[in-house]
């Protein structure tokens, strides 16, 4: 399993203040639900101040109650049904939807993003109710936010991400995640998982979000909760794509989705009923949230057709698996699509005699479905066919990512210039006149085979370039991390600290939020070095760093700025709270017994604390004020927390420093 996102990178993005975040009443709800003691009455009062959220909350609650229970009609009932974690996450999701319906990323389809996110939420809710992997309310929230990393990248880098999306559309063979990794040193999946973790969702939810678009990389234990949740996300994403796809693509996408549903234990009728419910609720929710929607597919007939198509594949004498194959040198996978069995038999004989593997289809619709599954190198198809003629089939193929790479040979009974021009403009590569002459057909096949081989060689070269670019991006990222990391303690170094506190200063200015910092000196460290040597000094630094790391809050950032000095950056923190945090750090180090393999040493620290105020023109003024606090602590006997600001909060209990025990 590949490692998750480096949280240092996420913290850098978070410090910009530009990541999508909740606002207004939603922010109040989230903060209230995070409190240790919150009454339902108080929470209901805050929720009722936002009528739109009230309606959404009650509808969500009715979506998870049993059919035989009476409907939820009040906020208090909805809170009892959903629980605080689900309410908090729903408030977050709906707040983002309200605030980020539009944006500055030209290539990002905001309306489609929210429609697909809503479909993911509803699909997750319905699937989870049947499979009982997680609670339905949690599933709804998870589905709604599973792809929030895409929105975040569009918000953080509107110009660059728009260009990247356009490049991905123009060159479908390029993976979006590879492009994101090269451009931003992280993917939208990694960013989604990191944002959900930052918002308080447990690891059992965030890890499946990290991998559900590349499930083969996950490596979860079979039968575990993470694996079950991953499969629910995969199935929900597939159902979302079906709902938003064209009618032709819907039929082609259903067989593999039905196969996954069956593997998860969903019977055909039960699955069809679940899909119908998703479609109905999608229309209702879209009206409630003022999102654009289209008529959902007729899932009943779609599931039946998908099952019939799957059964037909299983009965095929030589099923072809769509796996990566070596370069075409002799034979190709060729699909023959013609309504006349006699013509198909004749073509099969000619093609197999030339060493090709042949798959047949009797009409255009069947050919389209089979092509998406088999992924042939070449298709030989008749122009005149019932249901979907050859020209319509060519256009449908070229509208799909997979179909753009298939070499299409069109069979026609006329050589009219206008009709041939129409065929080439639709996407055909070549044509053969009926009745087919074997020597002409073989010559056309050899020409097509050369094109297919060149395409494969080009794809191999592109894959090597993608692989090289991904390795280079990872190497550059590691070099950047090494340049910003202190090798001894593992903390960020002085260079990172300067950049980070500048970012926090900017965010504090923009959001009008407090910003505090602490400067920490190890008391008597020079004496330890002089008495016991630098090796022992390094041990002291490492173990002191570990103690500080454990005692810090999750939002704080600690860096080693040199020697025995550390700085702690405390976003959204007033002076009193920073003093309390500084005291906790002092106590953690004072309680530490440093194991050196020889003498066991005691250690203390002096901490200076400062908060940004109106008199400070820049970051340097804030750091200088904290440094004055640390000097004050040293003057007063060390092992203290001190500040040059505030009253009555400039020191804590004293101790001893640097003594052997």
Question: 161-176: per-residue pLDDT in tens?
Answer: 888 888 887 776 677 8
Question: 581-627 pLDDT, tens per residue?
Answer: 999 999 999 999 888 777 788 999 999 999 999 999 999 999 999 99
**CATH code, 202:** 1.10.3210.10
Statement to judge: residues 241 and 149 lie in one domain: yes
Residues 114 and 286: their CA atoms lie apart, in Å, by: 10
Mean pLDDT of 413-427: 83
Phi and psi dihedrals of 519, rounded to 5? -110, 130
Q: Does the residue 318 lie in any domain?
A: no
| Contacts of 460 by beta carbon, 8 Å cutoff, 6+ apart | 327
Same domain, 449 and 538: no
Most confident of 84-88, 266-270, 328-332, 479-483: 266-270
Q: Is 312 contained in some domain?
A: no
Locate the DSSP E strands across 413-542. 430-433, 515-522
Say how many domains are in the chain.
3
The predicted structure's pLDDT at residue 331: 67
pLDDT band at 268 (very low <50, low <70, confident <90, very high): confident
Identify the pLDDT of residue 583: 94
Answer whether residue 405 is part of any domain. yes
pLDDT given at position 616: 92
Q: Check whether 486 has a pLDDT greater than 80.
A: yes
For residues 523 and 448, membership in a common domain is answered with no
Digit-coded pLDDT (tens) for 439-462: 888 888 888 888 888 887 887 777
Task: Tell me the two tokens of residue 62.
Answer: 């009715």
Q: Which residue has the tokens 């509107």?
A: 158
> Can you give the pLDDT at residue 6?
56
Residue 352 pLDDT > 50, yes or no? yes
**Domain for residue 464, yes or no?**
no
Tally of CB atoms within 10 A around 199: 17
Domain boundary, last residue among 411, 438, 458: 458
Look at 85-94, 104-113, 285-294, 646-655 and tell me which has the smallest mean pLDDT: 646-655
407, 451 in Cβ contact below 8 A?
A: yes
Q: What is the pLDDT of residues 129-142, one digit of tens each?
A: 777 777 777 788 88
Give yes or no: residues 351 and 281 share one domain: no
Residue 483 lies in a domain: no
| 321, part of any domain | no
Mean pLDDT value across residues 1-14: 62
Helix (H), strand (E) at residue 272: helix 268-289
Higher pLDDT, 181 or 587: 587
| Domain boundary pick from 441, 458, 475 | 458
Residues 445 and 500 in one domain: no
Better-scored residue on pLDDT, 141 or 190: 190
CATH of residue 636: 3.30.70.270
Say yes or no to pLDDT of 488 above 50.
yes
CA angle 101, 63, 95 (to 5 degrees): 25
Range of the domain at 398: 333-458
Q: What are the residue ranges of helices labelled H in 146-187? A: 148-156, 158-170, 176-184
pLDDT in tens, 86-98: 777 777 777 788 7
pTM, whole model, 2 decimals? 0.50
Q: Any bridge partners for residue 414, and if so which? A: none
Same domain, 36 and 167: yes
Same domain, 292 and 344: no
The predicted structure's pLDDT at residue 3: 47
Average model confidence (pLDDT) for the chain? 80
**Within a domain: 372:** yes
In a domain, 280, yes or no: yes
Q: Specify whether 131 is located in the same domain as 218.
A: yes
CA-to-CA distance for 465 and 175, rounded, in angstroms?
12
Same domain, 341 and 302: no
- pLDDT confidence of residue 636: 92
What pLDDT is recorded for position 591? 92
pLDDT of the residue at 659? 34
58 and 154 belong to one structural domain: yes
| H runs (alpha helix) in 389-533 | 390-398, 417-426, 438-483, 494-511, 525-532
Residues 389 and 297 in one domain: no
pLDDT-based confidence at residue 568 (cuts at 50, 70, 90) = very high
Same domain as 434, residue 525: no
| Helix pair 148-156, 188-198: axis angle to 10 deg | 100
Q: What is the pLDDT of residue 323?
A: 35
């Amino acid at each position: 399993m590949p490692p998750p996102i480096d949280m240092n990178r996420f913290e850098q993005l978070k410090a910009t203040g530009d990541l999508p975040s909740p606002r207004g009443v939603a922010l109040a709800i989230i903060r209230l639900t995070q409190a240790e003691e919150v009454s339902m009455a108080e929470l209901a009062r805050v929720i009722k101040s936002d009528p739109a959220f009230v309606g959404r909350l009650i509808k969500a609650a009715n979506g998870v109650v049993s059919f035989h229970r009476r409907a939820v009609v009040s906020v208090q009932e909805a809170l009892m049904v959903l629980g605080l974690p689900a309410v908090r996450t729903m408030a977050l999701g709906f707040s983002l939807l309200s605030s980020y319906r539009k944006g500055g990323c030209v290539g990002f389809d905001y309306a489609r993003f929210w429609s697909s996110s809503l479909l993911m939420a509803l699909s997750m809710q319905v699937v989870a109710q049947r499979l009982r992997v997680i609670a339905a309310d949690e599933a709804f929230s998870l589905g709604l936010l599973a792809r929030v990393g895409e929105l975040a990248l569009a918000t953080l880098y509107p110009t660059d991400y728009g260009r990247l999306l356009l490049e991905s559309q123009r060159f479908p063979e390029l993976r979006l995640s590879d492009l994101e990794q090269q451009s931003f040193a992280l993917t939208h999946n990694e960013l989604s998982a990191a944002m959900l973790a930052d918002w308080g969702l447990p690891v059992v939810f965030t890890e499946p979000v990290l991998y559900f678009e590349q499930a083969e990389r996950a490596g979860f234990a079979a039968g575990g909760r993470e694996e079950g949740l991953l499969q629910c996300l995969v199935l929900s994403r597939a159902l979302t794509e079906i709902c938003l796809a064209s009618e032709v693509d819907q039929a082609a996408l259903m067989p593999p989705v039905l196969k996954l549903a069956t593997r998860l234990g969903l019977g055909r009728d039960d699955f069809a009923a679940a899909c119908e419910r998703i479609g109905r609720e999608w229309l209702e929710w879209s009206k409630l949230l003022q999102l654009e929607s289209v008529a959902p597919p007729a899932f009943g007939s779609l599931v039946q057709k998908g099952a019939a198509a799957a059964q037909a594949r299983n009965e095929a004498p030589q099923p072809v698996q769509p796996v990566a194959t070596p370069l075409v040198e002799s034979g190709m996978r060729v699909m023959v699509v013609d309504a006349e069995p006699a013509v198909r038999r004749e073509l099969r004989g000619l093609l197999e005699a030339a060493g090709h593997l042949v798959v047949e289809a009797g009409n255009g619709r069947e050919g389209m479905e089979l092509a998406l599954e088999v992924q042939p190198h070449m298709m030989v198809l008749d122009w005149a066919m019932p249901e979907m003629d050859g020209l319509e089939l060519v256009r449908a193929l070229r509208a799909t990512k997979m179909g753009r790479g298939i070499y299409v040979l069109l069979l026609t009974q006329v050589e009219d210039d206008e009709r041939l021009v129409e065929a080439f403009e639709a996407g055909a590569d070549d044509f053969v006149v009926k009745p087919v002459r074997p020597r002409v057909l073989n010559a056309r096949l050899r020409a097509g085979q050369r094109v297919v081989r060149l395409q494969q060689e080009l794809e191999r070269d592109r894959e090597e370039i993608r692989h090289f670019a991904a390795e280079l991006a990872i190497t550059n990222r590691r070099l950047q991390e090494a340049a910003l990391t202190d090798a001894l303690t593992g903390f960020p170094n002085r260079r990172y600290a300067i950049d980070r506190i500048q970012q926090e200063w900017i965010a504090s200015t923009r959001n009008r939020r407090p910003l505090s910092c602490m400067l920490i000196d190890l008391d008597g460290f020079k004496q330890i070095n002089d008495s016991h040597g630098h090796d022992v000094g390094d041990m002291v630094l490492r173990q002191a760093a570990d103690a500080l790391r454990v005692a810090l809050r999750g939002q704080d950032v600690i860096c080693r700025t040199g020697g025995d000095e550390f700085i702690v950056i405390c976003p959204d923190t007033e002076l009193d709270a920073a003093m309390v945090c500084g005291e906790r750090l002092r106590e953690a180090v004072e309680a530490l017994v440093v194991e050196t393999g020889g003498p066991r040493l005691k250690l203390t620290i002096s901490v200076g604390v400062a908060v940004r105020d109106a008199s400070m023109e820049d970051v340097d003024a804030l750091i200088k004020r904290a440094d004055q606090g640390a000097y004050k602590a040293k003057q007063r006997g060390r092992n203290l927390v001190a500040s040059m600001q505030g009253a009555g909060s400039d020191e804590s209990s004293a101790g001893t420093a640097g003594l052997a025990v």
